[in-house]
Structure 1
Amino acid sequence: MSIFGFHYRLERKAIGLVLGIIVVSSIGGLVEIAPLFTIHQTVEDAPDMRLYTPLELAGRNIYIREGCYACHSQMIRTLRDEVDRYGPYSLAVESKYDHPMLWGSKRTGPDLARVGEKYSDQWHVAHMINPRDVVPVSVMPAYDWLLSTELRTDDLSLHLKAQRAVGVPYTDDMIANAAVDAYGQSSPDAPQADGVTRRYGKATTVRAFDGLPSRLTEMDAMVAYLQVLGRLTGAAHKSTAEAGASQ
């Protein structure tokens, strides 16, 4: 009996067909679920991994709000040309605290996984105001209103709480001081700046990202987020160095 003949006969028996569907679906589900039991073996350890500050998280929310992920990916593949252009390939652990993840696959613009500190704050501000001023062939739209729009901070603690609910280890102290820390990170001379480095580590960048320390804008948040991409942990650079040493 051919496989097609067996299938035609099976279609005439409702119970047999249902059981067949259950078996095939179970196999597919097992293939998808089984690897999750070994996830701790496949995700790299990153003891130096730090959290997004409230300002950086606000910038990430703006990045999502404006649909930036539709044109920029945040995942460098292991292909040689990608590594040569963008830097070390992305590791799973680098997206450990990204909810939702923004890996993407569409690249109307370049990948941003390693854009942190590649350009100055002034470059990013100019790029947001009018992309053609710094990249003449850019097709990116302008986001000049970010510089004149005050950043909303009264709900930042709620955003941190939501992140903690899905596994990001924000402390009660971080949540309670979210609004204060957002202001402090963009105002290096303010007393609130000390609290940012105390809660998030000395590696945290504290400066007036939009060049205007007197006010907190959405541009501050966006630039702060872009400048930390690829810099939450040094695991990728360490992995590349170890791979080179073993060759």
Structure 2
Amino acid sequence: MKEFFHRKIERNAIGFVLAIVGVASIGGFVEIAPLFTIHETVEAAPDMRVYTPLELAGRNIYIREGCYACHSQMIRTLRDEVERYGPYSLAVESKYDHPMLWGSKRTGPDLARLGGKYSDAWHVAHLLNPRDVVPESVMPRYGWLKRNPLRIDDLGEHLAAQRAVGAPYTDAMIENATADARGQAVPDSPESSGVTERYGEATNVRAFDGNQGVLTEMDALVAYLQVVGQLTQAARQETAAKED
């Protein structure tokens, strides 16, 4: 009976096309309909902040090097995930992530709560040679990051592009993007005060790769890794509220 039905549909070109359109429409509706109520499903996070220019540059390097192919940034609501990685991910935590890096494959651990977990020196050593800090690691080395100077002259354009898709960067942030990237990694420079003024007192301002003399791609990537999961405390606050 099934073979007869399929044969009949497949020999009727118009009917087959209509069937495809019908099935595709159902799938499209299921995916698109929730977008009309997205304002009701995304949690409120008054403390949410945007990436600094240096952190955004680090995120771009993270994407360029394909880190997202082995590390997800989304903790599911399963008990074992929460016990291993921390509070499950909320939609609002990816509010300013373009593109999002939730991922689905974990050759390495999930990084959604990585920010602040290890020191800058640990991250630098791990990126130079992962086996020095995690003997069983299969992660490749990224030694060139400490040798490559970071390009910062076009960071204003990157911020402007992010603003075009919804990230609330101000004109001042865009205009001072290059100076702010330099200032965040050189705490003794006069430019460092502008970083905290525009992005908040909690912003990490330090020589991430341990050398204030040269701004490198290592500075940028470590700056990014140190804020993954730290742009808002909404998930931790929600967990604490439930425990109370």
TM-score between the two structures when normalised by the length of structure 1: 0.93
1:18 Cα deviation after fit = 4.0
1:24 Cα deviation after fit = 3.3
1:3 Cα deviation after fit = 7.4
For residues 114 and 151 of structure 1, the distance between their equivalents in structure 2, rounded to whole angstroms, comes to: 25
Residue 8 to residue 244, structure 1, CA distance change in 2 (3 Å): same
Q: How does 1:198-209 map to 2 (within 5 A)?
A: 198-209=197-208
Q: Which residue of 1 aligns with 2:108?
A: 109
Residue 145 to residue 25, structure 1, CA distance change in 2 (3 Å): closer
Q: Does 1:138 align with 2:130?
A: no
Q: Which residue of 2 aligns with 1:22?
A: 21
Q: Which residue of 1 aligns with 2:62?
A: 63
What per-residue deviation string (whole Å, max 9, x for no partner) do you get for residues 103-148 of structure 1? Answer: 1121111111111110001111111111111111111111111112
Residue 23 to residue 148, structure 1, CA distance change in 2 (3 Å): closer
RMSD: 1.7
SS in 1 for 2:230: coil
For residues 10 and 140 of structure 2, the distance between their equivalents in structure 1, rounded to whole angstroms, comes to: 55
Residue 16 to residue 108, structure 1, CA distance change in 2 (3 Å): closer
Q: Which residue of 2 aligns with 1:192?
A: 191
Which structure 2 segments of 5+ residues have no match? none
1:158 Cα deviation after fit = 1.2
Q: How does 1:1-247 map to 2 (within 5 A)?
A: 14-245=13-244
Residue 22 to residue 139, structure 1, CA distance change in 2 (3 Å): closer
For residues 11 and 175 of structure 2, the distance between their equivalents in structure 1, rounded to whole angstroms, comes to: 64
Residue 3 to residue 109, structure 1, CA distance change in 2 (3 Å): closer
SS in 2 for 1:93: helix
Which structure 1 segments of 5+ residues have no match? none
Residue 164 to residue 15, structure 1, CA distance change in 2 (3 Å): same
What per-residue deviation string (whole Å, max 9, x for no partner) do you get for residues 44-96 of structure 1? Answer: 11110000000000000111111111111111111111111111111111011
1:13 Cα deviation after fit = 5.0
For residues 76 and 40 of structure 2, the distance between their equivalents in structure 1, rounded to whole angstroms, comes to: 20
Residue 109 to residue 20, structure 1, CA distance change in 2 (3 Å): closer
Residue 7 to residue 139, structure 1, CA distance change in 2 (3 Å): closer
- Matched residue type, 1:124: H
Residue 139 to residue 5, structure 1, CA distance change in 2 (3 Å): closer
SS in 1 for 2:113: coil
For residues 126 and 8 of structure 2, the distance between their equivalents in structure 1, rounded to whole angstroms, comes to: 65
For residues 22 and 66 of structure 2, the distance between their equivalents in structure 1, rounded to whole angstroms, comes to: 40
For residues 85 and 47 of structure 2, the distance between their equivalents in structure 1, rounded to whole angstroms, comes to: 22
1:33 Cα deviation after fit = 1.6
1:27 Cα deviation after fit = 2.5
TM-score between the two structures when normalised by the length of structure 2: 0.94
For residues 140 and 185 of structure 1, the distance between their equivalents in structure 2, rounded to whole angstroms, comes to: 28
Q: How many residues align?
A: 244
For residues 92 and 74 of structure 1, the distance between their equivalents in structure 2, rounded to whole angstroms, comes to: 12
- Matched residue type, 1:23: G
For residues 132 and 10 of structure 1, the distance between their equivalents in structure 2, rounded to whole angstroms, comes to: 58
